[in-house]
Amino acid sequence: MARLRTWCTPAVAALALGLAGCGDRDDAAGTTPASAPAATTAAPPTPTAPEPPAPEPPPRPLPGLPPDTAGFEDWPRLNAAPIPPDSAQTARVGFDAHRGVKNVHVDQPGARAGDPGPPYPDGTVLVKAAGTGGDLTLVAIMRKVAGSDPAHGDWEYVEYKRTGAGQDFATDASLTGATCWSCHAIAAGTDWVFTPADPG
């Protein structure tokens, strides 16, 4: 019996080593354990919304002119065509106070169609721009301010001049008040505004 135990122990050990060696060979051959995670596919990138366009910068007034005239060149124009010197409107006064080719702009969106028209609402700004050869040298402004001057339509008047392109506009006391309304009184029946809204 002692001999059998002695012989069995080495035999069992040899068998265990042989089985262990077989397991090593299977792993070396590239067998993947059952517990290995499966390969995953990356999710496609989420599309991003395009950047909105940058807003347009606000218009700036011409040099020397007040802020409420900024961008007046793009406001509705009362006259369908530029007004030449010595026009029919100036004949009512007897002389052309604003020499040069003129355009009259108003900050009321529907003014060209006559809505609003005379009388203009409180807060209206009218700009008459005059010059020669496309160079503006005069800007006359009328502002409707309720209660400011009831005797003269509640309009405030001021005129700015410059000698040429690249210069700043400037005004003085002689280019405001009675200097302006003394002529515009002739047009009191059309809310002190000479230029009618032309159709078109």
Domain coordinates in residue numbering, the chain: 67-190
Least confident of 72-81, 84-93, 146-155, 185-194: 84-93
Average pLDDT over residues 16-23: 46
Q: How confident is the model at residue 37 (pLDDT cuts 50, 70, 90)?
A: low
**pLDDT of the residue at 198:** 82
Q: What CA–CA distances, in Å, run from 29 to 19, 20, 33, 101, 112?
A: 16, 15, 12, 97, 91
* C-alpha 163 chain-centroid distance: 31
Q: How confident is the model at residue 26 (pLDDT cuts 50, 70, 90)?
A: very low
Q: How confident is the model at residue 33 (pLDDT cuts 50, 70, 90)?
A: low
**Would you say 24 and 30 are in contact if contact means Cβ atoms under 8 Å apart?**
no
State how far the Cα of 191 lies from the Cα of 176, in Å rounded to an integer: 18
Of residues 28 and 56, more confidently modeled: 56
Of residues 2 and 138, more confidently modeled: 138
Phi, psi values for residue 12, rounded to 5°: -65, -40
* C-alpha 161 chain-centroid distance: 29
**Would you say 89 and 83 are in contact if contact means Cβ atoms under 8 Å apart?**
yes
- Where are any strands of DSSP class E within 107-151? 125-132, 135-144
**pLDDT of the residue at 39:** 61
What is the pTM (predicted TM-score) of this model? 0.71
Q: How many CB atoms lie within 10 A of CB 82?
A: 14
Average pLDDT over residues 136-146: 97
Range 67-190 classified under CATH 3.50.70.20: yes
Percent of residues, the chain, with pLDDT higher than 90: 52
Chain segment 142-193, per-residue pLDDT in tens = 999 999 999 999 999 999 999 998 899 999 999 999 999 999 999 999 999 9
**pLDDT of the residue at 38:** 61
